[in-house]
Amino acid sequence: MSLLIIGCGNMGGAMLGGWLAGGMDPASVTVVDPLRAEVPEGVTLLRELPDSGYFETILLGIKPQQLAEAAPAISRLAPIQTSILSVLAGVDLETLHKAFPEAGGIVRVMPNLAAALGKSPIAVAGDVTFSFRVAVEHLLSPLGRVEWIEDEGLMDLMTALVGSGPAFVYRVIDALAGGAESLGLPREQADRLALAMVEGATALASVSPDSPAELARKVSSPGGTTVAGLSALDENDALASLMEETLRRARDRGRELAEAARQAG
């Protein structure tokens, strides 16, 4: 296949890394990015869109607010056979179909940077044919676990959970290490221990038949240290309320971006 990546920043770069690690031929990939210094060996790097050419798949990785201006030039490269994958937060399918009316199929895709390791959950939304759906899953599977969202209205929430979620987890790791430092551990040691603890806990949760809630219960001996610590998180539903508000704010920002994109289009 031939793949054109338009905008290869952090997310596009992570997806490219995951695809190449999964066996994609570098010679089949063209990257258009005026700011990127280099690309992996064998990948073609352009500073601006080509005037012509045929690509089976186009990945949109530009900033959402750039879509309206870039769409006419991109649409020349997206005939009826071309598939378009968009990672543009807040840009809905209606806007994308208006921008690329002749494309063979369009889906919204939301991975995270763990795509470079093949460990990203990938939310996908789009009303497409069965064969197109299979092709999208085949393309994305080297990047992680593909999850289709039948209701596009949930995509902003999925973006908050899947796309923004790693940042929230990193903040929790940093806060754990910071708390340990405040209580006496050297910061570098606290950082190492917090990261290793989360890595092990996540690895166990990913293979355990038990839910995370059940795993937490199994760690908690009645009257023990874990229960004492959990009491701070559970008091007045502090942690649950904080996580809900965190996701709500990220989701609502996605909705604001969607509205801005519709108005710009």
Judge whether 60 and 75 are in contact, CB under 8 Å: no
Do residues 78 and 58 make contact, with C-beta atoms less than 8 angstroms apart? yes
* CA–CA separation, 196 and 112 (whole Å): 21
Q: How confident is the model at residue 6 (pLDDT cuts 50, 70, 90)?
A: very high
Residue 52's pLDDT band (boundaries 50, 70, 90)? confident
The sign one gets for the Cα dihedral 67, 71, 73, 75 is positive
Q: What is the mean pLDDT of residues 38-60?
A: 91
Looking from the CA of 189 toward its CB, the CA atoms found within 13 Å total 7
Average pLDDT for 208-215 = 95
With cut-offs at 50, 70 and 90, classify the pLDDT of residue 264.
Answer: low
Query: Using one digit for the tens of pLDDT, what is the confidence trace for 65-110?
Result: 888 889 998 988 887 788 999 999 888 899 899 999 888 899 999 9
> In which band, very low, low, confident or very high, does the pLDDT at 265 lie, cut at 50, 70 and 90?
low
Task: Determine the Cα–Cα distance for residues 248 and 246; give it in Å rounded to an integer.
Answer: 6
Residue 42: strand, helix, or coil: coil
Tens-digit pLDDT profile for residues 22-43: 999 999 999 999 999 899 999 9
Task: To the nearest 10°, report the CA torsion of 193, 196, 201, 207.
Answer: -170
Strand partners, 51: none
What superfamily does domain 3-158 belong to in CATH? NAD(P)-binding Rossmann-like Domain (3.40.50.720)
Predicted local distance difference test score (pLDDT) of residue 46:
95
How far is Cα 215 from Cα 224, in angstroms, rounded to an integer?
A: 15
Q: Give whole-number Cα distances, 260 to 23, 64, 104, 205, in Å.
A: 38, 9, 26, 39
User: Looking at domain 165-253, does it have CATH number 1.10.3730.10?
Assistant: yes
Render pLDDT for 156-173 as a digit per residue (tens, 0 to 9). Answer: 999 999 999 999 999 999
- Quote the crossing angle between the two packed helices 225-234 and 212-219, to the nearest 10°: 140
Residue closest to 220 by CA, chosen among 209, 233, 238, 207: 233
Can you give the residue ranges of every domain in the chain? 3-158, 165-253
Block residue for tokens 């942690």: 239
- In DSSP terms, which residues pair with 57 in a beta bridge? 3, 83
260: pLDDT strictly greater than 90: no
Q: pLDDT-derived band of residue 197, with 50, 70 and 90 as boundaries?
A: very high
